[in-house]
Amino acid sequence: MKATFLLIVMTASSQLSAQSAVPELIFSDPLTSAMLVSGQMSKEMPGKGEFTPNGWRSSGPDGMLCIAIDKQWLGGVLEVDISGFDWYRANRSSGEDSKLHFMNMFSDKTGDHHIEQGGDENTALWTLRAGAGKDGKPRYGSTFKLLWSSRGVKRAPCNLYSENQRQNMAPATWVGWNTDSTYTFRIVWNTVTEQLTVWVNGIEFYKVPWKDQVQPLNYIFLGKANDFTSLQGVYFSNMRIYEMVGKKIPAKGSSNWCNKVTGPQKNKL
């Protein structure tokens, strides 16, 4: 009898655990209009851009869409579809020798990687960067670059800021970019596993550390963030943002977290 009861309890506990691991949808937005959906605080479009039946697109070097999330949480998932992706043309869309921060999340509205522009040692962020080199070819070959920090912007006294790329090579299973295809970008930042993972159409491009986050990623930037220029011409659509069960937001940042860092990261941006 006791063994049967224990088995029932263990089974129920396992089911609850499995259920709690399922991301909870905060909002879904087709990005076909400027109207807010439940779960959004604001939707702003500085610069040139337009909403179309196919989604939102940037139509100028300054084109940017910024969405503020009406929730305080740590650990989540962002999914966005991109279509009309002519890889060569899109990377050149703002000219040669360009850096295009086409998909981003920040914990503050400044949307910038540098402490000089208003971030601090608690800011969290991640950015997917494309662009063209001085020769006009895609800067990162058939892939894109990841920049991220779970805590601290570049040149903050304490920071976990870092950069990574795949030597201009996409994963071996990647078949390439096609203008007739739709690509689902899925970015997961998990405060329990302490990892940030980037997938495109189910193929993993990046998995990097994500530790000591204390500020929620409340701002989404598409096309560009507040620095560099915009990825133009492609359509961003069907945005989904989810909350994952994770560590609770602390009342304030830990006073000794900086002891875990050997010093400010000195990466080129």
Q: What is the DSSP code string of 163-183?
A: EE--TT---TT-----TTSEE
> Tokens 């133009």 sit at which residue?
232
Q: What is the pLDDT of residues 8-33, one digit of tens each?
A: 333 333 333 333 446 789 999 999 99
Domains of the chain are: 22-254 (2.60.120.560)
Q: 160, 175 in Cβ contact below 8 A? A: no
- Return the biggest CA–CA distance within the chain: 75
Residue-level pLDDT at 81: 98
At residue 248, the pLDDT reads 55
225: left (phi over 0), alpha (psi -120 to 50) or beta: beta
Q: What is the model's pLDDT at position 32?
A: 98
Average pLDDT, the chain: 84
Confidence of residue 116 (pLDDT cuts 50, 70, 90): confident
| Whole-prediction pTM | 0.86
Q: What is the mean pLDDT of residues 116-131?
A: 89
**Residue 264 to residue 154: CA distance in whole angstroms:** 8
Residue 3: how many other CB atoms lie within 10 Å: 7
> Among candidates 53, 137, 147, 156, which has minimal Cα distance to 106?
147
The percentage of the chain sitting over the pLDDT mark of 90, rounded to a whole number, equals: 61
What span, in angstroms and rounded, lies between the C-alpha atoms of 144 and 167? 10
Distance CA 89, CA 105 (A): 24
Residue range 155-180, pLDDT digits in tens: 888 899 998 766 677 888 998 899 99
Q: What is the pLDDT of residue 166?
A: 66
Q: What is the mean pLDDT of residues 31-44?
A: 96
Mean per-residue pLDDT for 103-116?
Answer: 90
